[in-house]
Amino acid sequence: MKVELEVDGKKIELNAFTQEIIANVSVAMAGSLRGVGSDWKEIEIRIEK
């Protein structure tokens, strides 16, 4: 899985280990929600402060 992170429009480089952690946690959270099937193609999460 490919993970991209941007903070205030600046792309943050992530190594493979960090990408894997973020991907696995995000997939697990989304997968536990009703209405999210296993056939998803992309998950997008936005956090605003």
Distance CA 49, CA 46 (A): 10
Q: What is the pLDDT of residues 1-37, one digit of tens each?
A: 999 999 999 999 999 999 999 999 999 999 999 999 8
CA dihedral for 22, 6, 12, 2, sign (positive or negative): positive
**pLDDT of res. 34:** 94
**For residue 38, what pLDDT band results from cuts at 50, 70 and 90?**
confident
3-state secondary structure 1-49: CCCCEEECCEEECCCHHHHHHHHHHHHHHHHCCCCCCCCCCCCCCCCCC
- Angle, CA of 2, 45 and 20, to the nearest 5°: 30
Q: Domain coordinates of the chain in residue numbers?
A: 1-34
Whether residue 48 is predicted with pLDDT greater than 90 in this model: the reply is yes
